[in-house]
Amino acid sequence: METEFESRLLMRGAAPLSRTMSIAWSRIDGSARRRFAVIGILSIVSGVLPGAQVYAVGALVSSVVDSADYRGYLVWAIVFGVVVFVKYVLENIIKFLGDVLTLRLSYDIEIDAVQRLGDMEVQNFESSKTYDIIQRVDESTGEHVYGLFDTLRSAIQALLSLLSICAVLWQWSPVIASMLLVAPIPGCVATFRVQTRAYDIEYKRATKARLAGYLRGLLMSDSAKKETRLFRLDELFTNSYSSIKKNFLRQDIGLARFALLQAGGLGAASVLASFGAVVYAAIIAGVHNRVGELAGFISATTQVGPLVLAAFIGFTGIYQHLLYVSNWAALVDTQPARIAEGAFRGPSDGRGGSVEFRNVSFRYPGTDVLALNDVSFSIDSGSITAFVGINGCGKSTICKLLLRFYEPDEGEIFVDGRPIGELSREYLYSWSSALFQDFVKYERSLRDNIEYGYPRDRGTADDERLWDSLEAVGLRDWAMSLPERLNTMLGRHFEGGHQPSIGQWQRIAAARALVKKPRLLVLDEPTASVDAVSEKILFEAMAALGGETTVVLVSHRFATVAHADRIIVIDDGAVVGVGGHADLMEDCAHYRDMYDAQGLQSR
Ligand SMILES: Nc1ncnc2c1ncn2[C@@H]1O[C@H](COP(=O)(O)OP(=O)(O)OP(=O)(O)O)[C@@H](O)[C@H]1O
């Protein structure tokens, strides 16, 4: 059973090990590689010193026994001291260089991972495959990258030390040398078994551990607290969490018992075998009067066990690091979905903003259902166009394609008469803006919250512009009443934060969308959280943009929708009606049904 598992472990690790190590190596810069080289050379020197140390012990004791003159053994005492001291110095230098390298790699790799995440397209975060990889990369990856190389280095150094000791012992007695080398093996097998079992437990519990982490996160989340309290989910989640943890506890205690049994069996066999080797060496020494060699054997006994273990376990310990590093390597190795960049950078101050979808069809990656099926429509520049339809009909998908978060599978999208793929996204985003239904509540100052919507290449937005945006969304008076006005921190996570209501948060997000005075404004359910008065204010803000800004509005509120210049009705990924409110009430049964349903609900 164990053997089968161990071989599975090696199989599982061997292929990713070489791939992961080559990825890690390719990401390490020249100076870090030089540091690795220096550490490697010092490790080789330090690796052969234990042999010299054992030899010096033997020679020292022999010279004490054989020579009456202290000068005879003083030389060996000095040699012994120098060997011990040089090893001490080398080990400390290796440790220092290793620590510095760990810190540097941790920094480099953490920044590299963060940059990769920042650089990813929206669609990667909406794909469970990539999202899974993203979730598994944590801040400790850098330490494990060095750990991966360092474990290998330590194992090789331990092997060198063993060879050097072996070379010395062999000259004295091949039989005792063999006994000493073989003695630690059962103990190593025991440790290997315990480690592989621990690794296997960790590997198998990864999914449950993630679930436990998720439940814990829900229990700690301020946004989830109301629901968890109301639906008594806190109790349910706490029970699930503790049941997972109890299971882990049971496994860990079982592992501790297994470790004790292994130590008591194979581990004890090693101790007894070493003891046997020393007794045998003592007998030989007594018979042949080779006290120096006996001292060398005893000195070697204390070193050989840990060295065999380090060499043996070092190679298995690599898998522990591999578990972490492979997540990061998978991130590096992932070919995230990319949106091709267009070259057109256009006149930055030019107005416009007309949009056309021509026979656009689209499936989300990894699905076979058409989210949009042969969709065609056109939107005049400066107009307000509303999209309506039941949940899941494809309205948000139209917004995502228009903002180039995805590319259509078929058909083409034109902006100002030009295929959208020809526009550079930097250019497109410099004059378009959006307010999403899942807008972000940045727990930063009110100023930051609005300024985040202002293009960085235009510098910082002046206060007047920020106040204008607040005015447009009806928040000027509220902002004036805040303790530090624009500089007031928002949210509860940082000290001194002021918590806006959800509707205020949404209007702040609207101010952020408006601050750049966009030519194209996509509003994906912008009024979901606001009251009727605020909705009117928001709509007036949109209308005030009229002529200057093309507004694409997704909304379920017919009171808002009815004011749009044109309404496009979507059903099951297809356009089923286009026109003004009055026309659609006449001609489009689907629109009329939705309108009536909302009228009934509100009565
Ligand atoms: N990231 C995604 N991966 C796979 N399928 C998706 C994804 N996002 C949306 N879909 C699917 O695409 C279809 C259209 O979704 P979309 O979000 O565009 O609907 P919607 O009209 O905006 O709905 P709602 O009114 O609920 O916001 C739905 O069937 C939905 O399940």
Q: What are the pLDDT digits (tens) for 28-73?
A: 778 888 888 999 999 999 999 999 998 888 888 888 877 767 777 7
The answer to whether 554 and 386 are in contact (CB under 8 A) is yes
- Measured in Å, residue 395 CA sits from the centre of ligand 1 at 8
Q: Is the CB of 396 under 6 A from ligand 1?
A: yes
Q: Is the CB of 120 under 6 A from ligand 1?
A: no
Nearest CA to ligand 1 atom 31: 392
The torsion angles phi and psi of 501, rounded to 5 degrees, stand at -75, 170
What token pair was written down for 248? 């882990």
Mutate to test the pocket of ligand 1, among 387, 397, 556 (most ligand atoms within 8 A of CB): 397
Q: Is the CB of 510 under 6 A from ligand 1?
A: no
- Hey, is 515 helix, strand or coil? coil
Class of domain 355-602: alpha beta
Q: Is the CB of 98 under 6 A from ligand 1?
A: no
Write out the residue limits of the CATH 1.20.1560.10 domain(s) in the chain: 13-333
Residue 349: predicted pLDDT: 54
Mutate to test the pocket of ligand 1, among 364, 367, 388, 568 (most ligand atoms within 8 A of CB): 364
Atom of ligand 1 nearest to the CA of 393: 21
Residue 226: predicted pLDDT: 72
What token pair was written down for 482? 């805040």
More confident residue, 485 or 232: 485
What token pair was written down for 32? 């870090």
- Measured in Å, residue 397 CA sits from the centre of ligand 1 at 6
The model's confidence at residue 84, banded by pLDDT at 50, 70 and 90, is: very high
Atom of ligand 1 nearest to the CA of 573: 14
Residue 600: predicted pLDDT: 43
Residue of 560, 550, 521 lying closest to 384 (CA atoms): 550
The answer to whether 360 and 410 are in contact (CB under 8 A) is yes
Q: What percent of the chain has pLDDT over 70?
A: 91
**What letters, b where the CB count within 10 A reaches 16 and e where it falls short, cover 340-352?**
eebeeebeeeeeb
Sign of CA dihedral 495, 499, 502, 504: negative
Please provide the average confidence, as pLDDT, over all residues in the chain: 84
CB neighbourhood size of 321 (10 A): 24
Q: Is the CB of 364 under 6 A from ligand 1?
A: yes
Residue 366: predicted pLDDT: 83
Nearest CA to ligand 1 atom 18: 394
Q: What percent of the chain has pLDDT over 90?
A: 32
The model's confidence at residue 10, banded by pLDDT at 50, 70 and 90, is: very low
Dihedral of the CA atoms 107, 108, 111, 117 (nearest 10)?
A: -130
- Hey, is 314 helix, strand or coil? helix
Determine the CATH number of domain 13-333.
1.20.1560.10
Residue 144: predicted pLDDT: 78
The model's confidence at residue 351, banded by pLDDT at 50, 70 and 90, is: low
Residue 1: predicted pLDDT: 38
Report the C-alpha gap between 139 and 184 in whole angstroms: 37
- Residues 247-262: what's their mean pLDDT? 94
What token pair was written down for 401? 């394609």
Residue 169: predicted pLDDT: 83
Lowest mean pLDDT among 214-223, 371-380, 491-500: 491-500
> What tens digit of pLDDT does each residue of 288-332 get?
777 788 888 888 888 887 887 777 777 667 766 777 777 777 777
Nearest CA to ligand 1 atom 22: 396
More confident residue, 142 or 88: 88
Residue 546: predicted pLDDT: 62
Report the C-alpha gap between 461 and 415 in whole angstroms: 27
Write out the residue limits of the CATH 3.40.50.300 domain(s) in the chain: 355-602
- Residues 360-385: what's their mean pLDDT? 93
Lowest mean pLDDT among 332-341, 392-401, 411-420, 453-462: 332-341
Examine the pLDDT at 159 and tell me if it is beyond 90: no
In angstroms, the first-to-last Cα distance of the chain is 69
Following DSSP, what letter does each residue of 353-369 receive, concatenated? --EEEEEEEEE-TT--S
- Residues 252-279: what's their mean pLDDT? 88
Following DSSP, what letter does each residue of 149-181 receive, concatenated? HHHHHHHHHHHHHHHHHHHHHHHH-HHHHHHHH
Atom of ligand 1 nearest to the CA of 369: 29
Residue 11: predicted pLDDT: 45
Nearest CA to ligand 1 atom 26: 391
Report the C-alpha gap between 99 and 150 in whole angstroms: 11
Report the C-alpha gap between 153 and 125 in whole angstroms: 37
- Measured in Å, residue 123 CA sits from the centre of ligand 1 at 13
- Measured in Å, residue 363 CA sits from the centre of ligand 1 at 10
